[in-house]
Structure 1
Amino acid sequence: MSLNSNNPFLNSKRFSTAVSKSEEINQASIIDYNDEMTISGTINKSLLLFMILIGSATVIWWLTFNGMNPLVPAIGGAVVGLVLVLIAAFKPQYSPYLAPGYAIFEGLFIGAVSAIFEALYPGIVLQAVGATFVTFMICLGLYKYKIVQVNEQFKSVVIAATLAIGTYYLISWLLSMFTSFVPVHHGNSWISIGISVFVIVIASLNLFLDFDRIEKGAQEKMPKYMEWYGAMGLMITLVWLYIEFLRLLSKLNSKN
């Protein structure tokens, strides 16, 4: 994984490959500015993916509160969504087809998980959505007005922290599967709450990396399909952030 972005959709290897292809086209004197990645195009596609995800999640939400078992769409959506992510990571040119599919299946996962948390802690979903939206807008504003500078040191620290979190979650999951080990981030202890806050901070910092790579991609005139690729990567970060807010709020609510 490149140290230019922890998000597999926004790493330098993928973007560099796209740039080289774009340069080959330019060298052949075939220039069509409608085939170049733009920030506005990426924003539009991000909004479209978001609407698809919300639509899919709403259907599962309604079905769950009308008697359907949410575990089936939760597990199925997570597995298929992961498969689409892995395919797109190696074949970004297929992103225009994979990104909408990811939004649909991730919507199944989000809708089911949200319904489960809402049944346990009424009102928690609205709180998590609001927290995610506010965090996104704050990070976007800090990036737009250059209050936060995304330099190489910033990228390295965020990526290292993200890899550490991923490694910890993976090891904890494997140990809990095959032993009686109980991960320290489970439960509602103050240590567990502190871990959730730390993970949310790191997830938020990942948004700056996403913004930076999307902006760089537009500046470097990457192929048009990279708009879907970038939008899909941004969606992955936002889903992660939302889930972490749900977990944190559930821990705080269970203390009351």
Structure 2
Amino acid sequence: MESRNPVIRRYADFQKPGSVLGNNQGRYDGNVITSTPVDETTQTFPGRTPAKPGERVVTMDDVVMKSFAMLALLLVGAFVGWNAPGLAIIAAIAGLVLGLVNTFKKNVSPVLVVAYALLQGVFVGGISYIYQNLVVADGTNIVGNTIMCTMVAFGTMLFLFKSGIIKVDAKFTRMMMVAMVSYLVIAVISIIASFMGVGGGWGFYGVGGIGILLALFGVGLASFSLMLDFQSIRQAISMGLPEKESWRLAFGLTVTLVWLYLEMLRLFAILAGRRE
């Protein structure tokens, strides 16, 4: 089973035998591709090769700028979705299709990545409006709380990654994949249960303390998934992949951030509902 995040999915393949670079493959050194030998532990993106001589390679600045661009487009879409929440369902379906296309497309398409960010923004804005104004009745600003906590979670995970307190190795990746698959199974069963009236339409998430624990697990899982995105970015830069791959990396990071935001939003909605 694979993660829905394209970068995480590829990073999982890093751990497979035979996914290392050959001894004479190019390596990133500043903005120049050299032919120095690569350590046997170096891992690569399946189907991705280092930039050709003279071709611009991806840098951290590229990934950061593309990520900021994606988030800006996400906010634009969110503004539209907040003011037209009825578009949320359409945007969700279209975003899912584009997400799959961007995930499996061999050559990254900046246009499709940008379109995905806009559509996801519309969905996030619409669902946020629904939660804030139709689900929560006590006036709690769950959207503001969600945005703030998402930023805190991102900063915390980045610190833990950069400091080396948590190391993203093969064991960590396997544990994350098992946890993701398990959570996906629970989520699907919960959706089915919600149609049967379980948890007042919330499924398992509306069943007392169990719902809160599940929501907390989802938040934790999405947060730690950021670690895999950070490692993917580090690997891409160290390998000297072409600059265009920065769009794919920014796309993967956006997918995880949206997932984290939605998990946070659900958690705050559940907590607000219990206070009513």
Aligned residues: 237
- Residue type matched to 2:152 in 1? V
Q: Does 1:53 align with 2:74?
A: yes
Q: Does 1:8 align with 2:30?
A: no
> After TM superposition, which residue ranges in structure 1, 4 or more long, deviate above 3 angstroms?
174-177, 179-184
Secondary structure of the residue aligned to 2:122 is helix
CA distance in 2, matches of 1:160, 1:52: 32
TM-score (norm 2): 0.79
Aligned equivalent of 1:147: 165
CA distance in 1, matches of 2:198, 2:147: 32
Secondary structure of the residue aligned to 1:15 is coil
Aligned equivalent of 1:67: none
Alignment match of 2:259 (pick from 224, 229, 240): 240
Taking every aligned residue pair, what percent have the same amino acid on both sides?
Answer: 32
Q: Equivalent residues in 2 for 1:157-168 (5 A)?
A: 157-168=175-186
Distance 1:184 1:79, change over 3 A: closer
Provide, for residues 16-45 of structure 1, a one-character-per-residue CA deviation record: whole Å limited to 9, x for no partner.
2112xx3xx64xxxx1242x2222211110
Q: Is the contact between residue 193 and residue 203 of structure 2 (CA under 8 Å) also seen in structure 1?
A: no
Secondary structure of the residue aligned to 2:46 is helix
CA distance in 1, matches of 2:268, 2:207: 10
CA distance in 2, matches of 1:92, 1:137: 31
Aligned equivalent of 1:32: 54
Secondary structure of the residue aligned to 2:204 is coil
Task: State the Cα distance separating 1:251 from its structure 2 match.
Answer: 0.9
Aligned equivalent of 2:21: none
Q: Is the contact between residue 7 and residue 232 of structure 2 (CA under 8 Å) also seen in structure 1?
A: no
Task: State the Cα distance separating 1:6 from its structure 2 match.
Answer: 6.4
Alignment match of 2:212 (pick from 193, 198, 202): 193
Task: State the Cα distance separating 1:191 from its structure 2 match.
Answer: 1.0
CA distance in 2, matches of 1:9, 1:148: 19
Q: Structure 2 stretches of 5 or more lacking a match?
A: 14-43
Q: Does 1:208 align with 2:227?
A: yes
Q: Structure 1 stretches of 5 or more lacking a match?
A: 65-69
CA distance in 1, matches of 2:239, 2:210: 44
CA distance in 2, matches of 1:93, 1:223: 11
Q: Equivalent residues in 2 for 1:219-234 (5 A)?
A: 219-234=238-253
Task: State the Cα distance separating 1:188 from its structure 2 match.
Answer: 5.7
- Residue type matched to 2:219 in 1? I
Aligned equivalent of 2:63: 42
Distance 1:116 1:125, change over 3 A: same
Task: State the Cα distance separating 1:169 from its structure 2 match.
Answer: 1.5
Task: State the Cα distance separating 1:48 from its structure 2 match.
Answer: 0.2
Q: Equivalent residues in 2 for 1:120-131 (5 A)?
A: 120-121=135-136, 122=139, 123-131=141-149
CA distance in 1, matches of 2:185, 2:132: 29
Q: Does 1:95 align with 2:109?
A: yes
- Residue type matched to 2:88 in 1? A
- Backbone CA RMSD of aligned residues: 2.1
Say which is worse superposed, 104-113 or 187-196, in terms of deviation. 187-196
